Structure formats: C-alpha cells, structure tokens
Structure 1
C-alpha cells in the first residue's frame, strides 16, 4: 500500500521516495545542498540529515599503505570496494623503482610527504615487515592496524590474505 495514515495525515510513500531520488540524483551530479534545496523547495538541513542517515562511511577516515605485496591489485580492489581514499601499495619492483628514481633529498621529501598525508587520516592500516610496521606505527597519530607479513628486510613480494585486510576494514567501519 502506497498510502499510510499518520494521525490525521495521509502520507504517500511513493511521493517521499520520488523526492529522495531527486535529491540524491542532483547531489550526485555535483549540486550543492543549498542548490538542491532551492531547486526542490525543501530545507537544506533536511538534505544534510538525509545524507547523514544514509552515510555508510565518511570519506577520509582510512589510509592503507603496504609493501612488498605480491597480490597488490587484489588488495586494492578490496579497498576500493569500501571507498578507501588513500591507498599506497607497492610490490618490490615498484618499491625499488620508487627508491632508485630519486636522489637522497628527493626520497626523504617523498617519504615525509607520504607520512604527512597519512597522518591526516583517523585510521591507518599498515602492511609490511615487522620493523616497518613498528616504525610507521610510532610516526602516525591515527589509530593504527598492522599486518606483519614477515621479518625485515623483506626482499621479495609477499602474498597478503585479502580476508585479513577485509576483516580490519570491517572492524573500522562498524
């Protein structure tokens, strides 16, 4: 039944759903909350509350860094399915290239930039050797979750269990 009686009012559920669909459509096209409110003649605060009600996870909460990862693409796919904004994963070849293509000063600046970027996130998942996860954990202000994939120094790519990563992400967002 489309109509519902609430007190002395009769409410059309389809009319409500249609209006919500219009709001979401305009917001997903890049319209601001204020523009949508004006266009549809509704309160901007209603749009804000509606978005909060439907929000699954706020962007910018989680960063994930890790190396050397054999199944990097598979792990990235898992992370992207949860809309993780900051992902920095490398296999050993990419890590060596990152190191070798820069001089000492540039490498230090790049590493400091990464640390600075990651410190902005509330949660950070670190995947790496025992020494690397320990050092990085101490440099970050965020809540840190670690996946130790072997003893330092790691010279070869290591397979990371996607379910292990998935379990940590689910723990964070729930």
Structure 2
C-alpha cells in the first residue's frame, strides 16, 4: 500500500485510485452521475468534475510525435489521411543523426522550436517509451495521449500497430 501525508491526513493512494476506477467503470456501464454519486456518497458535481479532468477534447488541431518508430512511413500516411496537422516521427537512426550532426546550441534551439510548434495544437499524441511519455506530459499543458511503445531506454525501432492509432484518431475526430 502507498500512503502519503497531506497536512494532518494520511491518504491511501491505492484505495483512492481504486474508488476513482470504480466510479469511472460505473459511468462507463451506463449508471447516471447521480447514481454513482449516491453509491460513493459524493456530490453529483464531483463525478462530473472527475470526468472533466480526464476528458480529451474532440476535434481541434492534432500533433503527433514519436520515436523510435519502425513503420514510420505507414503511420505518416495514416496521419495525412486523417488530417493530422503536425507529425514528427523518427527512427532511432534519424534521432541519433540529429543529435550527432548538430551542435548543442543548434539542437537546443531546434527542440525549443519544436516545443513551440507542438504547444500550439489542441491535442498531442505521443508514441514513445515510458520515461519519454512522462517527460512529454510534464512539458506540455495540453491534452496528451500517450502510446507507450516500450520500456526506456529504447535502442531499436518499434512497430506501432496502426489499428491502435486509428482508434485514437476516430475517438478524437468523432
């Protein structure tokens, strides 16, 4: 069990996460916000706000960033077909070449420019390792959808199932 202290209170994080999971599961299974609120002895507005915290904005501009991607061309074509506004997919070789062929200042400036471009989009889809996913979520104040393609460090290109990507795009464009 994982406990944390907040002021005078000791919070059981596993219990809290379990309750939130049950609330969302009940809503997914068709229970009304009021029914769920009554079951967990909370206000209906709490259930509504909880849903809002996790809601992914539909429509809008979408940016996709991912590395190291084996089926890069296939995914780029898919993103073009779906009208994705910005795509940056790199193989491991391309990623390493970028780092090796630029000075530290050039690389830093390029990364800052990319962050600014990506930040202008409503939704960001990131395909990368677990650690890189956490970093991207910390950098951007946008809706981030992460597709974890493996455990860090990834040193070889990874095949990403286009069907998973299509399902995400369908839910965003729906």
Q: TM-score range, shorter-chain basis?
A: 0.5 to 0.7
Counterpart of 1:139? Answer: 139
Q: In structure 2, what is the Cα distance between the partners aligned to 1:78 and 1:128?
A: 18
Q: In structure 2, what is the Cα distance between the partners aligned to 1:119 and 1:141?
A: 8
Alignment of 1:1-174 (within 5 A): 61-174=61-174
Cα RMSD, aligned residues only: 1.3
Shift of 1:113: 1.0
Q: Secondary structure at the match of 1:151?
A: coil
Shift of 1:171: 1.0
Q: In structure 1, what is the Cα distance between the partners aligned to 2:134 and 2:165?
A: 18
Shift of 1:142: 1.5
Task: Give the gaps of 5 or more residues in structure 2.
Answer: 1-57
Shift of 1:100: 0.9
Q: In structure 2, what is the Cα distance between the partners aligned to 1:79 and 1:153?
A: 26
Shift of 1:105: 1.1
Deviations 1:75-105 (A, max 9, x none): 1111110111100000111111111111111
Q: In structure 2, what is the Cα distance between the partners aligned to 1:90 and 1:168?
A: 20
Shift of 1:112: 1.2
> Normalising by structure 1, what TM-score?
0.65
Deviations 1:13-65 (A, max 9, x none): xxxxxxxxxxxxxxxxxxxxxxxxxxxxxxxxxxxxxxxxxxxx96x610000
Shift of 1:173: 1.1
Q: In structure 2, what is the Cα distance between the partners aligned to 1:69 and 1:92?
A: 7
Deviations 1:112-158 (A, max 9, x none): 11111100000000000100011011111211100000111110000
How many pairs align? 117
- Tell which structure's C-alpha radius of gyration is larger: 1
Q: In structure 2, what is the Cα distance between the partners aligned to 1:102 and 1:142?
A: 29
